Structure 1
Amino acid sequence: MYGADDSEQVVASLARQLDGLTFRDATTDQVTKLIIDSVVGWGRAAGWRVYRRAASVVPLPPPLSGQYSVLDVACARPAGPPVVVEVDHTDRRRTVEKLLAEAAAGRVAIWVRWGTGRFVAPPPPVLLVTCPVTRLPGPAGQGRRYSRLPADDRPPPAHSATGIGSVDPVALPIPLDDDHPR
């Protein structure tokens, strides 16, 4: 299914997988978990060995020297280089550095960004998959909530609360003059 330099096919396949992901009123942690679970399902459906929280090639800074950073998902493939995926809702410099190091080590490095804002593309060869969501305030003291609904199930946009002013009522039927006969 995939070949030597199949990174564009891989990222397109993952994007299609995430396009079908829907949820309603989820917290930040819940959205991240749902996306990671979807990435894991995608890798397994492709027949790959899939690892959550896999060791990265990037060592942690002191005082944790000797330990390595972790990746959200890593996929070992029988043909082609491994695929590594990081999932974030913020623009983290450390994530970009980690994925650049993974790509330099010969892996297909994919950054899944989710959120409501503009997504800035990472430097090549890191690949970007976006997962736009809508954000609403959650219950008092419980943070924001996020939703991603199917295209045909999205609510209509909110109407303006601004009044349109006063309007004089018109009696019906509207009388027509000689220039506009019935």
Structure 2
Amino acid sequence: MDTADDGTSTARSLASWLERLTFADLTEAEATARILATIEEWAAWQRWRVYRRAPSVFPLPPPLRGSSVLDVACARPGGAAPIAIEVDRRDRQRTVDKLLAEAAAGRVAIWVRWGTGPFPPPPLPVHLVVREASRRAGRWHTVSERPAPEHTGAAPVVAEAEELPWEP
């Protein structure tokens, strides 16, 4: 657990956790919800308090008033910096600005990007975590870096169907 680092090991830990996430045939909203649930599991596994839609230090754009919200925020014990996490499929400057404001307020800022990429790195001190996914027929599927299993090349076994005797 990070207590005084710059958040790099926290971002690596989250990236490792998200590598195990798989999904298939989901809408964009369903895929985002699955990613958010997995982030919550990661934080809960570390025994951190998890807040969905937590208030941000970043203001809402005019004419709205008040503060924006974070997708996930985590409070950590022992004086460790809180964590501010945003999840996006698209490259959004507003997300970068929000996370930079969170980092300036003393939080570890993590941007979880998912989709097909490219995923240009945000400015430091915002940490980038990527979960690749592809879209087929309008539905999202995770992408694995593991190669497809090799086939033996042996011919498939074909069985001949035969009628069995019937006894009443």
Q: TM-score when scaled to structure 2?
A: 0.83
| Paired residue type of 1:146 | W
Residue of structure 1 in register with 2:155 after alignment? none
Residue of structure 2 in register with 1:24 after alignment? 24
Residue of structure 1 in register with 2:139 after alignment? 145
Residue of structure 1 in register with 2:67 after alignment? 68
Q: State the Cα distance separating 1:152 from its structure 2 match.
A: 5.8
Whole-angstrom distance in 1 between the partners of 2:54 and 2:16: 24
Whole-angstrom distance in 1 between the partners of 2:31 and 2:60: 26
Whole-angstrom distance in 1 between the partners of 2:92 and 2:3: 31
**Residues paired across the two proteins, number:** 149
Residue of structure 1 in register with 2:160 after alignment? none
Q: State the Cα distance separating 1:31 from its structure 2 match.
A: 0.6
Whole-angstrom distance in 1 between the partners of 2:31 and 2:92: 17
Whole-angstrom distance in 2 between the partners of 1:154 and 1:135: 18
Deviations 1:26-51 (A, max 9, x none): 00000100000001111111110100
| Paired residue type of 1:130 | V
1:123 aligns with 2:117: no
Whole-angstrom distance in 2 between the partners of 1:149 and 1:118: 14
Deviations 1:123-172 (A, max 9, x none): 000000000012101xxxxxx1111165669699xxxxxxxxxxxxxxxx
Gaps of 5+ in 2: 151-168
Gaps of 5+ in 1: 138-143, 157-182
Percent of residue pairs identical: 54
